[in-house]
Amino acid sequence: MKAKLISLNPAAPQVVMLDRLPVVLGRGAKADIRLSDRTLSRRHCEIDRVSATLVVRDLGSKNGTRVNRAAVSEAVLMPGDKLTLGACTFVVSYEQHPGELPPVVNQTTESSPDNSDDSNTTSMATGIGGSGDDSR
């Protein structure tokens, strides 16, 4: 999988290639990919591949990790998603091959009598796995 993060900061355009996974992003010397942003933690987050998708995990950063503006501790990253680390925002880019399916995220087991077309939409910015507790 060839993946990259494309910076949305016009003052410092940057493309971060994700050649090896997992990869830790942060501003410290122990980060695999160092970003010069003082709002980032030394080891801010980790990006890894799970099945056919990328997953981001916050590593206890001070200013948090966001996917499409939602604060996350762990989330699936789909192509086109916006990943914000501190003050840096990137667009996630990678190709999914036909037949590769993303992991299921927050399946609900309850059904309501008013099932609209929107009821089958799953937010990709929610945690994957864990207890399902989204309180932060």
Buried b (16+ CB within 10 A) or exposed e, 4-18: ebebeeeeeeeebeb
Cis? peptide before 79, omega within 30° of 0:
no
pLDDT at 120: 39
pLDDT at 100: 57
Q: Tens digit of pLDDT for each residue in 63-112?
A: 999 999 999 999 999 999 999 998 899 999 998 765 555 555 543 333 33
pLDDT at 70: 97
Q: Tens digit of pLDDT for each residue in 25-74?
A: 999 999 999 998 899 999 999 999 998 899 999 999 999 999 999 999 99
pTM for this model (two decimals)? 0.71
